[in-house]
Structure 1
């Protein structure tokens, strides 16, 4: 299974820089970079924090697909 993260799409639509999102959710910049590139599976807390920033659900931001 592969994780598809729509974080970059939502971040750009909201007009946030990566550094701004990092501060809002208390993560490291590298974490957000890897998450946006599909190389990191977030903890449930981080996924929920990011979803809260964008006013959406975890299920909308993250999706598992068969490879």
Structure 2
């Protein structure tokens, strides 16, 4: 499995484990950095392995989900 698919799977898994919808995760991301530019469509593409997020985006996602960034990229 490639890293893009690993990230996709893990973001979705941790989001669901936190009981968050994609919209709720986007709200958390906007609260952390309003200029991040992640919307629900982007998050959907990311979770389906069609977007390759930057390290900054991964860091904010991990913060919003309350997990370490290592957990997002670990197979």
**Do Structure 1 and Structure 2 share a fold, with TM-score over 0.5?**
yes
Normalised by the size of structure 1, how large is the TM-score? 0.81
Q: Which of 23, 27, 40 is matched with 1:19 structurally?
A: 23
Runs of 4+ in structure 1 over 6 Å off: none
**Corresponding pairs, count:** 64
Q: Which of the pair is proportionally richer in strand?
A: 1
What is the CA–CA distance in structure 2 between the aligned matches of 1:39 and 1:62, rounded to whole Å? 16
Counterpart Cα distance in 1 of 2:26 and 2:18: 14
Residue of 29, 34, 52 corresponding to 1:41: 52
Which structure shows the bigger proportion of residues in helix conformation?
Answer: 2
**Which structure ranks higher in relative contact order (CA pairs < 8 Å, sequence separation ≥ 6)?**
1
Over the aligned positions, Cα root-mean-square deviation in angstroms equals 1.7
The gaps in structure 1 that reach 5 residues or longer are none
1:53 aligns with 2:57: no
Unaligned runs of 5+ in 2: 31-37
